[in-house]
Amino acid sequence: MIVRLALERDAPGFVGLAAQVEHWFGPMVGDPGFHAAVHKHIRRETALVAVSSNRTELLGGLLMGAKPPKYHVHWLVVSEHARGQGVGRALMADAFRRFVHSPATVEVVTFGPDHPGAVVGGARAFYERLGFTPAEPADPGPEGGSRQVYRRTV
């Protein structure tokens, strides 16, 4: 697996990843705002991808925001068939190396404790293993599910 900055040619791969998680995050594939956000992050060099070793398959993608000393993981998705193989951890590690300058606070909004994706997708446990702690509730997601801020100080 290789983690690198995303290129314009990776944009369709982000859409493919989005299609796999719309049931948890709401519509993205047909949303012009999502497409614009992906292209904006690619242009700003704040989008990362994990690709297979043969570089033909997108295993995961991450969109990062930065207003030092606060950083925000805007979007992180790992392909269904690549979950549990360290792809998300590799994307986060690369994002911290590239974008986060200490002292800093990194935030991510993930599923609330009552959201089905909290257990099935393992997002809350994933962030906790990376040293994030649950913080205040966030606005519900576009599909109406609960959300919570997770925060890590570095």
Q: How many residues does the chain have?
A: 154
CATH number at residue 127: 3.40.630.30
Instruction: Indicate the residue type of 55.
Output: R
d(CA 62, CA 69) in angstroms, rounded, equals 19
**DSSP 3-state assignment of 71?**
strand
pTM of the model: 0.94
pLDDT tens per residue, range 78-123: 999 999 999 999 999 999 999 999 999 999 999 999 888 777 778 9
Residue 44: how many CA atoms within 13 Å on its side-chain side? Answer: 13
Pairing state of beta strands 147-153 and 58-67?
Answer: unpaired
In which domain, by residue range, is 86 found?
2-153
135: nearest Cα among 107, 116, 115, 114: 107
Helix, strand, coil percent values for the chain (each to nearest 5): 40, 30, 30
pLDDT at 94: 99
Domains in the chain, number: 1
Query: Which helix (H) or strand (E) is 119 found in, with range?
Result: helix 116-120
Mean pLDDT, consecutive 10-residue stretches, the chain (154 aa), reads 97 96 88 97 98 88 97 96 95 98 97 83 91 97 90 98
154: nearest Cα among 133, 135, 123, 125: 133
